[in-house]
Amino acid sequence: MSTQPEKEDLADADTVAVGAKHGGRSRHGLVAFAAIVLVCAGIAATIVALRPTDATSAIKTGHYSIARDLLEQAARGGDARAQNTLANLYYLGLGGPTDQHAAATWYLESALQGNTDAQINMARHYVLGLGVSKDPMRAFAWLFHARSAGREVAEGDIKLLAGSAQITPTHLQRVRQLYPTIESLRPNGDGE
């Protein structure tokens, strides 16, 4: 056995000696720094763990921009429910700026797939001219198709529209001729 200390022992001794020169402060400083790093890592891990991974959780917890991102992916994939929900976020301006044109676009995509909530929302956009030109006849047609599919809430909107000066009995007949199917409500590229 050698009485000479190993190189590793010297390095440790130097570190301890340096700490000892300063009353042990550098050793305590290192421990405090390590504790701060661990606490920050724990907080970061907690934040990541709390980040919603699905759109429903994101909406329920108020993480609307995350919900928009998640819904956008699903909507582009053709998910009618995601399209309608994404449109709602654009309509309300949750998770980003209000965008009525984007809302109408996603409502339309969903409505064309038979989503009755989106059909009612699309009708309301046509009544108010939100993101599309005002068109009470198209609005009525969307409501008619939603009601025909069993969506009773459309009935109230139909009564309001039919009772307004915007739609006459002649218009109602014309709507049934022009838009007998959901597909006939697809815009024809001329802005409608």
Q: How confident is the model at residue 164 (pLDDT cuts 50, 70, 90)?
A: confident
Of the three residues 50, 65, 81, the one that is the final residue of a domain is 50
Whole-number Å distance between alpha carbons of 81 and 87: 10
Whether 102 and 164 share a structural domain:
yes
Number of structural domains the chain divides into: 2
31 is a domain residue: yes
Whole-number pLDDT of residue 22: 47
Query: Do 61 and 43 fall within a single domain?
Result: no
Residue 71 has pLDDT above 60, yes or no: yes
Residue 190 has pLDDT above 50, yes or no: no
Asked if residue 27 and residue 95 are part of one domain, the reply reads: no
**Domain contains 159:** yes
> How much is the pLDDT for 172?
86
DSSP state of 65: H
Same-domain pairing of 141 and 94: yes
Q: CA 65: distance to chain centroid?
A: 6
Give the structural domain span for 43. Answer: 8-50
Do 41 and 117 sit in the same domain of this protein?
A: no
Quote the tokens at residue 81.
């429910």
For position 152, which CATH number holds? 1.25.40.10
Residues 31 and 64 in one domain: no
d(CA 63, CA 155): 34
Based on the domain organization, do 72 and 155 belong to the same domain?
A: yes
Q: Which amino acid is at 108?
A: L
The encoded tokens of residue 155 equal: 């009935």
Q: pLDDT grade, residue 36 (50/70/90)?
A: confident
